[in-house]
Chains A and B, each alone.
Chain A
């Protein structure tokens, strides 16, 4: 088997990995913001619940969380899930896990805003939501971008954890190929894939960071 053939066989797995990556970002970035609001809520109960949620998400292995999301419906609720649910479970598991990390990043960014920005906004008549959307959030994005980049790069590598619930992503496919051919080459190809993927992500994030460099 040539390297090209191996790559083409891995292609399906790559596609799944990319899907997990993209879907996770699309949902966890906004969800994280929402969770950060809950974390900063003046309502003590909401705050406590969200705090607990974040600590569980950050304090237990993602692999375990994926298992719970995947097996939970059947073991806990007796709902039979189809094969399609594997990938959905991966999407859900990754999203709720990454949202927790993003929430803490948003929170640190929002809380580092100087009070003067809020006071100036208030004096100029901005409503609370306008202040957030027009004044605070654009500045928060810039501040937290380096931390977001770190998480996004980790996510590329973390997508391989979906194999624990038998999602045929890149790593699972490579593993199967490696054992059937008793060859390391599929792993090398997989490694190359993750590496290039991350390179693209890093370049993309760098581009965004540069675009935000028009001030300060």
Chain B
């Protein structure tokens, strides 16, 4: 069953068409990587999927429930507030720049939404938050504030914060691009460990080796369209000229 379906998505900023008829479906448990040159619309696609940005045209469906659909004139119409709120619970997003809440400790960052949005029981939430921190290798940072963390630690907290709401699908927008190379590994390791949990993930990344190893499917985007998609083997050994020229920039060491 498809967890996420995006059909014929179009999005322009001013007069610049950033997404041109993109269709993308993600099955439950699937890990999909999106690669492509800067400015190709990868972030915009994730922002449309997470409804931070409104599509101009196209459908957005989570678990058969329509968040948006096309009217006769080809313009996206969104569902009512209540429906969108319900749909929104299905997904989480990890940002390139973490966007942790600076005035809250690590633990508060993770617990606040489960407590005040989901209104769950405090003991239970606390226990789960500590488990998540342990998984992220950050038990000793529970009381720390975001300003006291390295970039890699911050990103791991942001991942824990998103996971604390038990989303069915987690989107990552270049989760390691703001990090020093030596910190990239720790975050990628954590994301890899999530794969074992059967969490559905859509990851925009410039880490080609990582994308090849972790993904069930790789999507190569350029200029607002999906140029090619397939298994990592297919895409990384593609004979498509654009794919080749893009991958060529990363050399052969992935």
Closest to B88 in A: A125
**B52, chain A: closest CB distance, angstroms:** 6
Contacts of A82 in B (CB 8 A): none
**A26, chain B: closest CB distance, angstroms:** 25
Closest to B85 in A: A125
Besides A123-B50, A134-B116, 19 other A-B contacts (C-beta < 8 A): A116-B95, A116-B99, A120-B95, A120-B100, A123-B92, A124-B92, A124-B112, A124-B117, A125-B88, A125-B113, A126-B116, A126-B117, A134-B112, A138-B103, A139-B101, A142-B103, A214-B145, A215-B102, A216-B102
Known contacts A123-B92, A125-B117, A126-B116; is-contact A139 B52 (Cβ 8 Å): no
Closest to B108 in A: A134
Contact with B along A61-92 (1 / 0, CB 8 A): 00000000000000000000000000000000
**B93, chain A: closest CB distance, angstroms:** 5
Interface of A is mostly: helix
Complex: how many Å from CA A215 to CA B143?
Answer: 12
**A132, chain B: closest CB distance, angstroms:** 13
Determine if A206 is an interface residue (Cβ-Cβ < 8 Å): no
**In residues 26-85 of chain B, which contact A (Cβ within 8 Å)?**
50, 52, 85
**A124, chain B: closest CB distance, angstroms:** 4
**B143, chain A: closest CB distance, angstroms:** 11
Chain A contact residues, CB within 8 Å of chain B: 114, 116-117, 119-120, 122-126, 130, 134-135, 138-139, 142, 214-216
Partner of B99, one of A119, A138, A216: A119
State how many residues of chain B have any CB contact under 8 Å with chain A: 26
Q: Are B95 and A119 in contact (CB under 8 A)?
A: yes
Q: Quick one: which of B52, B103, B116, B165 has the most chain A CB within 10 A?
A: B103
Q: Quick one: which of A117, A119, A124, A139 has the most chain B CB within 10 A?
A: A124
Contacts of B91 in A (CB 8 A): 123
Chain B contact residues, CB within 8 Å of chain A: 50, 52, 85, 88-89, 91-93, 95, 97, 99-103, 112-113, 116-118, 145-147, 161-162, 165
Complex: how many Å from CA A114 to CA B99?
Answer: 9
Contacts of B161 in A (CB 8 A): 124
Contacts of A135 in B (CB 8 A): 101
Closest to A126 in B: B117
Q: Are A139 and B95 in contact (CB under 8 A)?
A: no
Known contacts A122-B52, A124-B113; is-contact A117 B147 (Cβ 8 Å): no
Q: Are B99 and A117 in contact (CB under 8 A)?
A: yes
Partner of B89, one of A125, A134, A139, A214: A125
**A122, chain B: closest CB distance, angstroms:** 7
**A187, chain B: closest CB distance, angstroms:** 45
**A126, chain B: closest CB distance, angstroms:** 6
Closest to A117 in B: B99
Known contacts A125-B88, A215-B147; is-contact A120 B99 (Cβ 8 Å): yes
The 5 nearest A-B residue pairs measured at CB: A116-B99, A120-B99, A124-B113, A125-B117, A215-B145
Partner of B52, one of A114, A119, A125: A119
Contacts of A216 in B (CB 8 A): 102, 145, 147
Complex: how many Å from CA A3 to CA B162?
Answer: 66
Partner of B165, one of A119, A125, A138, A215: A125
Closest to A114 in B: B99
Complex: how many Å from CA A119 to CA B95?
Answer: 10
Closest to A116 in B: B99
Q: Quick one: which of A114, A138, A215 has the most chain B CB within 10 A?
A: A215
**B28, chain A: closest CB distance, angstroms:** 20
**A216, chain B: closest CB distance, angstroms:** 5
Known contacts A125-B113, A214-B145, A216-B147; is-contact A120 B118 (Cβ 8 Å): no
Contacts of B102 in A (CB 8 A): 139, 215-216
Complex: how many Å from CA A125 to CA B95?
Answer: 15
Complex: how many Å from CA A142 to CA B117?
Answer: 24
Complex: how many Å from CA A135 to CA B116?
Answer: 12
Q: Are B103 and A123 in contact (CB under 8 A)?
A: no
Closest to A125 in B: B117
Closest to A216 in B: B147
**A138, chain B: closest CB distance, angstroms:** 5
Complex: how many Å from CA A116 to CA B96?
Answer: 10
**B51, chain A: closest CB distance, angstroms:** 8
Q: Are B88 and A117 in contact (CB under 8 A)?
A: no
Q: Are A125 and B103 in contact (CB under 8 A)?
A: no
